[in-house]
């Protein structure tokens, strides 16, 4: 390809003057030898480009380029390297933080008993496959970062928050307090026990989260609060009638009877009280808080443990011997029955010393007097609604549950059947057909023995200022 061409013109003297130009695609001077160079094959310093451009080398390819571009390339190369280094540093920090977060979650998972729980999940002796392990971000989002406005209740073991999962399901998230190994055992114990219980009158555990600083438990949401609230906080809009009280007592008795005698391995609740009985949207009872519950083998008759429970509900026999039996749960349930009858708290500073701070002692003292004395301490709603015969039968049942000698107390199965018999008239349908209230929808999975041995050498007493009573366990509404 010709690099240049010339045109000749005549001037005034008739001399031909030639004007030479580089052809298209060439740059340089057409008046010197090899002055016109292909712009894609220029050689810097030897073959000049046209004014305003320069010959540059881009990855071995020499070509003419605008000087401004050359300047940009010259300055941009070190600047680009600086930007690249900065972005690389940022990426390194990001990856390092991600690794640190993962490392911390893995540490928390192990510390919070994740390995122990995984052993139970994969154990052939247990049925905890349905346990869901929630992500921390999922529960943070569900509870609005554990907003104080979402608090449902709090107590000795932690705080319960109302939350909503991504699928719209409302749940209760229990955030445990800072725990030691003993508390960790309680936490894992509650998970293992609850994932093996399927009873309509026992609160259902949906899953847990172990990757946070403290473990989280996720339960079904029970909307109507605790039984304690309805007994002790009068609500004119919702009269807490005798029929409702009797039905709730029957439901709780049925649930405890199931735990004691219908499960493959007996389960002792160990903290039966009105604040651990929740009421759902239909005011059906849900027994909750299994943190201190224990399973025992079929051959065992009792547990020897550190004394634990709530003062006012605590079995005196267990308090003295540190031996917890199924009859210890019966005693605690007896106190709940007396609460339902009288509307009074298990422990109260308003009663005189002669009457006794303990409701159980006050009730038993009253029952030893003439029968008319009982009606002096009953709740006004009970006096209004309940037939006298039913009141006397239920009061006598409570008296037997509160017997100081555990052997003389009825079993929870006997208590449940007695309450069902009392409520029998209300269980007939419109055709007069009697329905067995104990025919509940529950499964009976295999349950392993996960009892933790505790020392019996000490007992911890704390003062509950809100209830103005001494207690062995902080008593506030809590799952």
Sketch out the chain's domains with CATH numbers. 224-471 (1.10.510.10)
CA dihedral 401, 403, 408, 414 (to 10 degrees): -10
Q: Which residue has the higher pLDDT, 294 or 463?
A: 294
In the block, residue with structure tokens 């026999």: 317
Q: What is the pLDDT of residue 475?
A: 38
Q: What is the pLDDT of residue 74?
A: 53
Q: What is the pLDDT of residue 380?
A: 93
Residue 458 tokens read as 């000490």
pLDDT tens profile 393-440: 999 999 999 999 999 999 999 999 999 999 875 554 444 444 443 343
Identify the H or E element spanning 73: helix 67-111
Confidence of residue 181 (pLDDT cuts 50, 70, 90): low
Q: What is the pLDDT of residue 459?
A: 31
Asked whether residue 66 carries a pLDDT value surpassing 90, the answer given is no
In angstroms and rounded to an integer, the radius of gyration of the C-alpha atoms of the chain is 41
Q: What is the pLDDT of residue 44?
A: 44
Task: Name the nearest CA neighbour of 27 among 84, 66, 83.
Answer: 66
Please give the distance of CA 69 from its chain centroid, rounded to a whole number. Answer: 61
| C-alpha span between 227 and 335 (Å, rounded) | 13
| C-alpha span between 154 and 402 (Å, rounded) | 29
Confidence of residue 192 (pLDDT cuts 50, 70, 90): confident
Q: What percent of the chain has pLDDT over 90?
A: 37
Confidence of residue 88 (pLDDT cuts 50, 70, 90): confident
Confidence of residue 47 (pLDDT cuts 50, 70, 90): very low
Please give the distance of CA 12 from its chain centroid, rounded to a whole number. Answer: 104
Q: What is the pLDDT of residue 473?
A: 40
Q: Which residue has the higher pLDDT, 194 or 476?
A: 194
* pLDDT, the chain, mean: 75
Q: Which residue has the higher pLDDT, 242 or 6?
A: 242
pLDDT tens profile 288-297: 988 778 877 7
| Highest-confidence segment of 38-52, 157-171, 427-441 | 157-171
Taking residues 131-156, report their average pLDDT: 88
DSSP code string of 202-214: BPPEEEEE-SSSS
Query: How many C-beta neighbours within 10 Å does residue 91 have?
Result: 10
Stretch among 39-43, 182-186, 301-305, 417-421 having the lowest mean pLDDT: 39-43
Confidence of residue 468 (pLDDT cuts 50, 70, 90): very low
Confidence of residue 240 (pLDDT cuts 50, 70, 90): very high
Q: Which residue has the higher pLDDT, 418 or 86?
A: 418
Q: Which residue has the higher pLDDT, 341 or 14?
A: 341
Q: What is the pLDDT of residue 401?
A: 97
Asked whether residue 450 carries a pLDDT value surpassing 50, the answer given is no
Q: What is the pLDDT of residue 114?
A: 60
Q: What is the pLDDT of residue 196?
A: 74
Q: What is the pLDDT of residue 81?
A: 77
Q: What is the pLDDT of residue 454?
A: 32
Q: Which residue has the higher pLDDT, 344 or 48?
A: 344
Task: Name the nearest CA neighbour of 56 among 68, 47, 64.
Answer: 64
| Highest-confidence segment of 45-59, 298-312, 434-448 | 298-312
> Would you put residue 312 in left (φ > 0), alpha (ψ -120 to 50) or beta?
left
| C-alpha span between 186 and 217 (Å, rounded) | 12
Q: Please, where are the H alpha helices in 151-298?
A: 181-194, 227-232, 242-257
pLDDT tens profile 4-43: 667 665 455 556 666 787 776 676 776 777 777 666 554 4
Residues 6+ apart with CB under 8 A from 411: 257, 260, 261, 326, 327, 330
CA distances from 464 to 286, 328, 356, 472 (A): 25, 23, 18, 9
Q: What is the pLDDT of residue 115?
A: 59
- pTM (predicted TM-score): 0.66
Q: What percent of the chain has pLDDT over 70?
A: 63
Asked whether residue 368 carries a pLDDT value surpassing 90, the answer given is no
Residues identified as active-site? 271
- Asked if 282 contacts 223 with a C-beta cutoff of 8 angstroms, the reply is no
């Amino acid at each position: 390809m010709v690099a240049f061409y010339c045109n000749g013109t005549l001037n005034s003297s008739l001399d031909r003057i030639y004007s030479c130009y580089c052809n298209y695609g060439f740059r340089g001077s057409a008046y010197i030898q090899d002055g016109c160079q292909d712009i894609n094959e220029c050689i810097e310093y030897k073959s000049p480009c046209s004014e305003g451009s320069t010959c540059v080398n881009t990855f071995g390819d020499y070509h003419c380029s605008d000087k401004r571009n050359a300047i940009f390339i010259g300055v941009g190369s070190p600047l680009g390297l600086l930007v690249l280094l900065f972005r690389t540093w940022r990426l390194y920090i990001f990856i390092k933080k991600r690794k640190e977060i993962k490392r911390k979650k893995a540490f928390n998972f192990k510390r919070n008993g994740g390995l122990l729980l995984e052993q139970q999940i994969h154990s052939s002796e247990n049925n905890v496959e349905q346990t869901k392990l929630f992500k921390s971000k999922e529960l943070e989002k569900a509870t609005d970062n554990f907003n104080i406005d979402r608090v449902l209740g709090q107590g000795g073991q932690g705080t319960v928050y109302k939350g909503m999962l991504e699928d719209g399901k409302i749940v209760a998230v229990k955030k445990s307090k800072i725990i030691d190994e003993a508390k960790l055992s309680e936490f894992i114990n509650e998970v293992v026990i609850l994932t093996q219980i399927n009873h309509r009158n026992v609160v259902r555990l949906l899953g847990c989260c172990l990757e946070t600083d403290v473990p989280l438990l996720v339960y079904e949401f029970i909307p109507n609060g605790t039984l304690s609230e309805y007994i002790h906080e009068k609500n004119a809009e919702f009269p807490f009638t005798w029929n409702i009280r009797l039905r709730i007592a029957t439901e709780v008795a049925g649930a405890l009877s199931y735990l004691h005698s219908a499960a493959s391995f007996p389960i002792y609740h160990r903290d039966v009280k009105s604040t651990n009985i929740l009421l759902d949207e239909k005011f059906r009872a849900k027994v909750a808080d299994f943190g201190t519950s224990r399973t025992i083998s079929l051959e065992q008759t009792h547990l020897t443990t550190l004394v634990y429970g709530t003062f006012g509900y605590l079995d005196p026999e267990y308090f003295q011997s540190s031996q917890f039996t199924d009859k210890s749960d019966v005693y605690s349930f007896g106190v709940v029955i007396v609460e339902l009858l009288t509307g009074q708290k298990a422990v109260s500073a308003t009663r005189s010393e002669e009457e006794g701070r303990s409701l159980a002692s006050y009730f038993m003292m009253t029952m030893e007097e003439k029968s008319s004395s009982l009606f002096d301490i009953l709740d006004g709603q009970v006096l209004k609604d309940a037939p006298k015969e039913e009141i006397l039968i239920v009061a006598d049942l409570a008296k037997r549950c509160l017997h100081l000698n555990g052997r003389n107390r009825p079993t929870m199965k006997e208590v449940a059947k007695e309450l069902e018999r009392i409520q029998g008239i209300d269980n007939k349908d419109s055709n007069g057909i009697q329905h067995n209230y104990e025919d509940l929808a529950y499964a009976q999975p295999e349950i392993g023995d996960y009892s933790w041995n505790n020392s019996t050498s000490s007992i911890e007493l704390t003062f509950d200022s809100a209830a103005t009573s001494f207690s062995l366990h902080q008593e506030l509404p809590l799952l």
